[in-house]
Chain A
Amino acid sequence: MHKRSTGSSDETLAAGNGLLDRRRFLAATSAIAGAMGSAALPAPASAQELSVDPWMKVPGAPFVPYGQPSRFEENVVRTWTTVPGTTGTGASRTPHHLLNGMITPNGLHFERHHSGIPDINPDTHRLLIHGLVKRQLIFTLENLARYPMESRIAFIECGGNGQLLYQRAPAQVSVQQIQGQVSCAEWTGVRLAVLLQEAGVDPKAQWLLAEGADAAGMSRSFPLAKAMDDALVALFQNGERVRPANGYPMRLLLPGYEGNINVKWLRRIMLTEAPTMTKDETSKYTITLADGKSLQFVFPQEGKSVITHPSPGLVMKEPGLYEISGIAWSGYGKIAKVEISADGGRSWAQAALQEPVLSKAVTRFRLPWRWNGGPAVLQSRATDDTGYVQPTREQMIALRGNRTIYHSNAITTWSVSDKGEVKHAYA
């Protein structure tokens, strides 16, 4: 920790290149405001007397049944890429550079579809539990609505999120393009363990197959221990019914596990002795190493973070005080610490973690930064409560190589030029 006073204020530096102590943000802000007041800055040349805006003079718009964001927020949207020859197979990304907090609005939650979004009639949808059970059971949505429910805030991250970091050169795209396939919502539904208890699990059962009702019948296997631990049949997303793009009328939520296995449009769960070895757990979502072997069943997403403010696309107009902010998450538990560097990893300052800090959920972090107008290299590094530390890109590639697109959790680097331009970089 670099503890020294700057010449112009009482700000305490927590690390190099202007990173301030996370506990001093309010104090520093008031000191600056005071300094600015006493310096009697000249009024801008264009200063005019404030006028009363037109919307204060006539009644506003009428009620609408379902609210939408301001028309001035039209650029806050998902972007997507599709598989050739399709309109609905591919992935969309959350615009993290335009959001704040820990919860992703439902209309901006990332999506990954393998054959578009099915238009499911909830009255005819069924959930079947069969295979190695004493009683094969089928549930309607109406049935499930009577079950005891619980809510948990959980991130879902595509197993392929961050894959651009495996490329040899830093892709010059936004944080949305690089890390937009992670989102976080409050999911409410029925514990899968309760339904399995009613079906009666055969002692031979070790795995479950989950299958969706989309045209691809997307299916994945996962261990019984996870089903009994914290799996949820989610019916609600941020208080409203799960959106069609996220699995309406029900999806599997396996907190912390790679997105693909949180099967949407859940229609069938089959208990088995061994994995079914579906297409998406053999030919995809596996990591080929240099020796030719491939890692399979890489379930939890590792500890990870990324700075969303500032991030590429943004131009910082003038030197001064900024808040560096971003998101951190771990599929193994809670975020314990996020550190930030403004000098490419030479020195680190600990960011403030915004409450609530929840297991397997996105945690927002914040740190004040006095940008002096010079070049800076911004990084964030998460540590989770198992002690796991987010690796550098070099460390990640040393471990797994770069012949995969999956489970990229390396530190993402933004360079800030002396003109205030923020770009993706490799440190």
Chain B
Amino acid sequence: MPTRKPVLAAVAAIILGLSAAVAADGPDLGRVVTAQEIAAWSLSVGPDGVGLPAGSGTPKQGEAVYTAKCVACHGEKGAGRPNDALVGGIGSLPGDKPPMRTVGSYWPYATTIFDYVRRAMPYNESKSLTNDEVYAVTAYILQLNGIIGENDVTNAQTLPKVRMPNRDGFVTFARGK
């Protein structure tokens, strides 16, 4: 009967930054997969743009997507109601009054819009938009917030470079500070 000690030793070795060559006593049953095999599963997009697919969109194209798929929950021009507002609130974060946290006022990275819309929106048919549609509706939300211009194009190159108003507004929590 193998003991659990080798696992604990392996874990401890990793924590201590020692060689990862210590064998864990897992049975090693995972199947090795290729990047190509898992492409459809790799839905996430990092702030550096890693994970953004080919495609592009403009605010005008995005307005059409928004009117068809988004306005019922997020209101005219992203004003909100019945669900989250997407526009407005820039400058509302400091002070005593309730802050208005929207994509425009609060979200630190434009890449997060693409990531979230592609994986979770529209609510009743998530993952139904094409990549071009996701780029376009992302552009529309950014333009409504005055962050990009009417004729700007969002794609894998431009989106990570968009400077969001609250980009420097976050502090990593540390206990006692």
CB within 8 Å of B: which residues of A? Answer: 83-86, 89, 114-115, 128-130, 135-139, 143-144, 146-148, 150, 190-191, 193-201, 209, 211, 215-217, 219, 225, 228-229, 267-268, 270, 272, 274, 276-279, 282-283, 286-288, 290-300, 332, 403
Contacts and interface: CB of A to CB of B under 8 A. Distances in A.
Given A193-B10, A229-B15, A290-B94, A296 B115 contact: no
A283 B107 contact: yes
A109 B22 CA distance: 38
A89 B170 CA distance: 27
B169 interface: yes
Interface string B1-26: 00010010011001100001010111
Contact of B34 (A136, A216, A276, A277): A136
Given A143-B29, A211-B43, A277-B112, A217 B38 contact: no
18 contacts: A89-B123, A115-B120, A128-B33, A130-B38, A135-B30, A137-B32, A139-B29, A143-B30, A147-B29, A193-B14, A193-B24, A194-B26, A198-B28, A276-B46, A276-B115, A283-B107, A287-B173, A294-B106
- Contact residues of A: prevailing secondary structure: mixed
Interface in B39-74: 41-48, 72-73
A276 B44 contact: yes
Given A147-B27, A287-B173, A297-B172, 19 more contacts: A85-B72, A115-B120, A135-B32, A136-B32, A138-B30, A138-B31, A139-B30, A144-B29, A150-B4, A195-B30, A200-B20, A216-B126, A219-B119, A274-B47, A277-B47, A277-B111, A282-B106, A282-B170, A291-B94
B166 to A, nearest CB: 8
A129 B22 CA distance: 19
Given A211-B43, A292-B93, A191 B11 contact: yes
Given A137-B33, A148-B25, A198-B30, A211 B44 contact: yes
Interface in B78-108: 82-83, 93-96, 98-99, 101, 103, 106-108
A401 to B, nearest CB: 8
B96 to A, nearest CB: 7
B126 A290 contact: no
A55 B81 CA distance: 55
B87 to A, nearest CB: 14
B171 to A, nearest CB: 5
A271 to B, nearest CB: 12
Contacts of B111: 277
Interface of B: 4, 7, 10-11, 14-15, 20, 22, 24-35, 38, 41-48, 72-73, 82-83, 93-96, 98-99, 101, 103, 106-109, 111-112, 115-116, 119-120, 123, 126-127, 169-173, 175
Given A143-B29, A297-B172, A272 B46 contact: yes
Nearest to A129: B30
B127 to A, nearest CB: 8
Q: Which 6 A-B pairs have the closest CB atoms?
A: A137-B30, A292-B94, A217-B119, A84-B82, A292-B93, A143-B29
A138 B4 contact: no
A138 B37 CA distance: 11
A278 B47 CA distance: 9
A261 to B, nearest CB: 13
Contacts of A295: 170-173
Contact of B15 (A86, A228, A276, A294): A228
A216 B119 CA distance: 6
A136 B37 CA distance: 10
Contacts of B72: 85
A136 B35 CA distance: 8
A283 B106 contact: yes
Contacts of B103: 283
Contacts of B43: 211, 217
B160 to A, nearest CB: 11
B117 to A, nearest CB: 9
A177 to B, nearest CB: 21
Query: Which interface residue of A85, A190, A282 has the most chain B CB atoms within 10 A?
Result: A282
Query: Which interface residue of B107, B111, B116 has the most chain A CB atoms within 10 A?
Result: B116
Contacts of A293: 93, 169-171
B33 A130 contact: yes
Nearest to B126: A215
A279 B115 contact: yes
B48 to A, nearest CB: 8
B102 to A, nearest CB: 9
Nearest to B72: A85
Given A277-B108, A282-B112, A296-B170, A191 B7 contact: yes
A278 B99 contact: no
B93 to A, nearest CB: 4
Given A86-B123, A135-B32, A283-B112, A278 B44 contact: yes
Given A277-B111, A297-B172, A299-B173, A136 B101 contact: no
Contacts of A278: 44, 112, 115-116
A282 B109 contact: yes
B31 to A, nearest CB: 5
A193 B173 contact: no
